[in-house]
Amino acid sequence: MNQLSRYVRGPLLLIALLVIMRYLFPNKMTFFWEVSTFGIYIIANDILYGYMGMVSFGQPFYLGIGAYAAAIYLAHIGQNIFIAISLAILAGLVTGLILGPAYIRLRGDYYALINAATCAMGLFMVEKVLYPITNGDDGLWYRSSMQPTPFLNLKMPGDVFWFTMIILGLVMIFYTWLDRSTLGAAFRGMKASENKMKFLGYDTFKLRWLGYTMMCVLAALSGSLYAINYGFVNPSITEPARSAEVLVATLLGGPGSVYGPFFGTLAFLGIKDFVSSVMTRWELAVGILTIIVCFYFEGGVWGTIQKIGAKIRARATKAGNAVSAKTAGSSKS
């Protein structure tokens, strides 16, 4: 039971925070919905970037896989959103299993660039090659055909919010488990020294493949949530230019930490939301903040919160020790 609460407590607290904020700021419900959906996308990226040290400049491709899998099903085949989400997850899984063995052989800049190339090709595919299915730049529209279930009508923003919260909660519980598991330690170990992992007896190729596939599945899941909420998907979701967003948000939160993606998403979308109401080029503020984080706050928002917490705890312990020493001294005299 204690073991279970270790993985559930933190995610539930963060979900509760989002729910409270949603009721405190009712006109910001879409913002909090996006925090949860984008948060899953950032978690996907953090498994590769934060834990395994693999930077990708093509994450929108994996988001697009899920979004288009769900959208194509809803626009052409069926109406059930759960099947749409399942298909998106399956598409992510198949992508990971097929592309993984080739892509994860590459390291550093080569891995980053092959993903950028894949993303550009993905954009071309959905815009031109698959036009009869994807409708090119005009995109796919299927909102009216999405079938409500007895408990959930995803055409209603309130239902979408709660549904996404449940999905985010489950993903965060999985992510917390991963962070604290030996598998998470193995991912971090590979980032530190792949050779040493091999000498310990790990097949690092399989480990990287597993991490890559996890990333594909979670990014596709996030893509399907975008597709279902908007009832519309067009090629802009796979724009290579948007790959910077996911990297910046991961960096802002603190890569390789369990709550980093959540806080990174909150910071990134918060700045975007706030600054875009004041000036059109909100990216300027995000850029400046990213530079500051790179130079002065290596662990990002979550890393800084942890450091402050550790300092406060150390001070409290020091003060506690001083009081007990004083008490001991006075009782002696």
Partner 1 sequence: MNEVLLSVKDLNVSYKTLHVLFDVSIEIKEGEVVVVVGRNGAGKTTLFRTVAGFLKQTSGAITFKGQDIGNLPAYEVAVRGLKYIQQDKHVFADLSVRENLELGSYATKDYEWDRVLDHFPKLKTLMDRKGGNLSGGERQMLLMAQSLLGQPELVLMDEPTEGLAPHVIDDLKQAFKKISEQSTLVIIEQNLPLTAEVADRVYAMKEGKVVAEITEKKEIQDLAFEKYL
**Residues in touch with partner 1 (CB under 8 A):** 182, 185-186, 188-189, 192-193, 195-204, 256
Query: Minimum distance between the CB of residue 189 and partner 1, rounded to whole angstroms?
Result: 5
Query: Minimum distance between the CB of residue 311 and partner 1, rounded to whole angstroms?
Result: 17
For every residue of 157-194, DSSP letters joined together read HHHHHHHHHHHHHHHHHHHHHHHHSHHHHHHHHHHH-H
Nearer to partner 1, 109 or 203 (CB): 203
Nearer to partner 1, 64 or 189 (CB): 189
Q: How far apart are CA 161 and CA 37, in angstroms?
A: 10
Radius of gyration of the chain, Cα coordinates, nearest whole angstrom: 22
Nearer to partner 1, 76 or 105 (CB): 105
Nearer to partner 1, 169 or 256 (CB): 256
For residue 292, the number of C-alpha atoms closer than 13 Å in the C-beta half-sphere is: 9
Tell me the two tokens of residue 82: 């759960």
Do the beta carbons of residue 261 and residue 72 sit within 8 Å?
no
Alpha-carbon distances of 315 from 301, 302, 303, 322, rounded to whole Å: 21, 20, 18, 10
Q: How far apart are CA 106 and CA 113, in angstroms?
A: 10
Alpha helices in the chain (DSSP H): 2-24, 29-46, 59-72, 81-103, 108-124, 131-134, 157-180, 182-192, 194-200, 204-230, 243-253, 260-276, 283-296, 300-332
Residue pointed to by tokens 């963060």: 14
Nearer to partner 1, 50 or 60 (CB): 50
From the CB of residue 13, how many other CB atoms can be counted at a distance below 10 Å?
Answer: 10
Burial class (CB in 10 A: 0-12, 13-18, 19+), 61: buried
Q: How far apart are CA 74 and CA 10, in angstroms?
A: 34
Nearer to partner 1, 5 or 181 (CB): 181
Query: Minimum distance between the CB of residue 310 and partner 1, rounded to whole angstroms?
Result: 12
Query: Minimum distance between the CB of residue 184 and partner 1, rounded to whole angstroms?
Result: 9
Nearer to partner 1, 192 or 278 (CB): 192
Query: Minimum distance between the CB of residue 300 and partner 1, rounded to whole angstroms?
Result: 15
Query: Minimum distance between the CB of residue 104 and partner 1, rounded to whole angstroms?
Result: 15
Query: Minimum distance between the CB of residue 256 and partner 1, rounded to whole angstroms?
Result: 8
Query: Minimum distance between the CB of residue 191 and partner 1, rounded to whole angstroms?
Result: 8
Nearer to partner 1, 256 or 261 (CB): 256
